[in-house]
Amino acid sequence: MGRFSLFASLLLAADGALGAKWIGEVKKVDGTEYQCKCYSDNACWPTNKDWETLNKTVNGQLQLAIPPGAVCHKSLGNSSVSVYDAAKCKDTQANWLNEQWLTDHPIANLWPFSTNNTCLPTDDPSSPCTRGFYGNYVILAKTKDQIKAGVNFARERNLRLIIRNTGHDFMGRSTGFGSLIINTHSFKDVNFVQKYNGPGNWTGSAATVGAGVQGRELYRQAFAQSPKVVIVGGECPTVGWAGGYIQGGGHGPLSGIYGMGADSVLSFDAITAEGKYVTANAKENSDLYWALKGGGPSTFAVVTSITVKTFPEIPTAGTILNINSTHTNDSATFGKAFHIFHNLSNHYSNHGMFVYFEQGPGLGRLHVAPFVGPNMTETQLQGVLKPLYDQLNAAKIPYDAYTRSFPTFFEFYIDMFEDEQPNQNSIVGGRLFSQSDIAQHGDKIADALLFASMPEPTQLGFNVGHIVNPGYGVPKVDNAIHPTWRNASSFVISNVIMSGTESWAVRKDRESFNTNVVGKALRDVSPSGASYVNEGDLNEPNWQQAYWGSNYARLLKIRSKYDPNGVFYTQTTPGTENWSVIDYGTKLCKKASK
């Protein structure tokens, strides 16, 4: 049976009795009335014929959205149609911790907590499998016209729309219950030029990067140029550079000297909520250009490509440092070590450095991998780190460290950065600590981070840190990124570790704990801090200020211009104040106008 012929068997499809009105159901939650998007149990849901027409429009690129684990199960949901495939199941199990395999999948999320973990790989094909919070259909777009057709279909029929590139997403924004997904991962073209001739005051080298290009492959292609160049990207190799990373702002190993990823953007090609092709740069659609540079993912338009500055390759040195159970099991000693390390954040970042660290679980592990010294030799980096070593030695704290230097950033990156492990379950939070926060409240911040890694006797947490000051290299910008990033010192992602099998009530309880206990502890010690839209708490209090500060009012105005009806939605992004996902994390609905 072909993929498309499975549609009628696997999905509920009504006759579309309301015709062109496409009106979703009205629901009341705690006395508040909501008007919902159209879902498969509504009369407004598109008919099988509608879906078949869309499939023809997109040249056969419409597919059922099948969770990656479904091939290990005899059935998907209540359907009697088998999706089981023993060979594919074996392949899925073998690649369940393979980031690249997961990002290449049509709909997989690297962090499955946001999918509700209802269809995981198994050795028992008779075990249940449902879509959970995954969407219903996916367009594997190969062309801009196919993206446009998907946007138009979702807008005209009032469907929830998800834009998915890699699924490299801590916050669940790459998935949505009952949605139509547009997958942009196939947009892999990259074109380098040695002289940029477009709008703006940049005349140096540049590259135009497709939405589906990932971090490591972009670094690799930049390194292959003659002369070799670098691009500001993230530390993770599989992050979708143009499709997600930039729209949130984008920090990374070179941000200390070249600023945030969005600081380097020269132009966007995009498709609006109205299905219009637009170019946004300093000359055309300049308001959209400003907003897309850090205003939030899947918020203003679907980005298909980005033109960005490139820079000459540079020598880079790196250090890896460890303090763990092989050195000490004494929590007081480890706590002192972490204070010494993190209290030097201003020192590291004001040398143009980027420091990636992992701290946890509990009070027993600090893994810095690595300290990044752009434009530094091994001797120079060791000189910058001397205050750290001197203080650790004076406190008689055991550790191990080694330093290496490389002729280029790319060679350093390939050697010293480590791939992270996907398919972990946690509720994510985070806090950006400013230079003044670290200077005035460093000890309290270190205490709060140590608390976040073990907030309860039975609850382990995990912190992922990024010490960097984009304002050191690029002190002034005109884009949507929170202004606090220009005075940044350390940005830390906190995690409340989960099993993924918790009940809805327990999940909501732990989300509240993440926001009101762990998150509050971090907020309380950083009065001039902020949060980061790509890696933060979906329940962040006063999120408009926390994520964008003084830029929010302008972003809200631009959102109302380019998407007044909410075709695009990702939680805690501009213009979503009246929207909520209700019915136990399923239906996206808007508060009804009074």
Residue 399 is predicted with a pLDDT of 97
Q: What is the pLDDT of residues 156-193, one digit of tens each?
A: 999 999 999 999 998 999 999 999 999 999 999 999 99
Give the max Cα distance, the chain: 77
Retrieve residue 447's tokens: 């205490």
**What is the DSSP track for 54-90?**
HHHHTTT-EEE---GGGGGSS-STT--S----HHHHH
| Residue showing tokens 């631009």 | 558
Q: Is it the case that residue 15 has pLDDT exceeding 90?
A: no
The pLDDT value recorded for residue 594 is 59
pLDDT value at residue 456: 83
Q: What is the pLDDT of residues 261-277, one digit of tens each?
A: 999 999 999 999 999 99
Percent of the chain with pLDDT over 90: 89
3-state secondary structure 190-215: EEEECCCCCCCCCCCCEEEEECCCEH
441-482 pLDDT tens trace: 999 999 999 999 988 877 889 999 999 999 999 999 999 999
The alpha carbons of the chain give a radius of gyration, in whole angstroms, of 24
Q: Tell me the pLDDT tens digit for each residue of 21-43.
A: 677 899 988 889 999 999 999 99
Scan for tokens 């966007």, then name that residue: 268
Match 């969005």 to its residue by tokens.
Answer: 262
User: Residues 52-96: pLDDT tens digits?
Assistant: 999 999 999 999 999 999 999 999 998 766 799 999 999 999 999
CB neighbour burial string for 233-270, b if at least 16 within 10 angstroms, e if fewer: bbbbbbbbbbbbbbbbbbbbbbbbbbbbbbbbbbbbbb
For residues 586 and 594, give the distance between their C-alpha atoms in angstroms, rounded to a whole number: 24
- Per-residue burial over 104-125, b = 16 or more CB atoms within 10 Å of its CB, e = otherwise: bbbbbbbbbbbbbbbbbbbeeb
pLDDT at 230: 98
Read off the DSSP letter of residue 233: -
- Chain-centre distance for alpha carbon 189: 21
The model's confidence at residue 20, banded by pLDDT at 50, 70 and 90, is very low
Which tens digit of pLDDT belongs to each residue from 507-536?
Answer: 999 999 999 999 999 999 999 999 999 999
Nearest residue to 539 via CA among 572, 564, 495, 582: 572
Taking the C-alpha atoms of residue 489 and residue 487, their distance in angstroms, rounded to an integer, is 7
Q: Give the integer Cα–Cα distance in Å for 561 and 408.
A: 44
Q: Cβ(141)–Cβ(183) under 8 Å?
A: yes
The Cα 78–Cα 566 span in angstroms is 31
Give me 31's structure tokens. Answer: 């006395």
Please report, for residues 215, 335, 421, 453, the alpha-carbon distance to residue 424 in angstroms, rounded to integers and kept in the order given: 21, 26, 7, 16
Asked if 125 contacts 84 with a C-beta cutoff of 8 angstroms, the reply is: yes
Are 119 and 83 in contact, with CB atoms under 8 Å apart? Answer: no
CA distance linking residue 507 with residue 580, whole number of Å? 17
Measured in degrees and rounded to the nearest 5, phi and psi for residue 209 equal -120, 125
Least Cα distance to 138 among 113, 111, 107, 112 occurs for 107
Residue 288 has pLDDT above 90, yes or no: yes
108 vs 102: CA distance, rounded Å? 6
Q: pLDDT tens digits for 548-565?
A: 999 999 999 999 999 999
Q: Is the dihedral of CA 419, 370, 519, 476 positive or negative?
A: negative
18 has a pLDDT exceeding 60? no
What the chain holds in terms of domains, given with CATH numbers, is 4-183 (3.30.43.10), 190-312 (3.30.465.10), 316-548 (3.40.462.20)
Token pair 């949060």 in the structure block, residue: 531
Q: What is the pLDDT of residue 361?
A: 76
CB atoms within 10 A of CB 464: 20
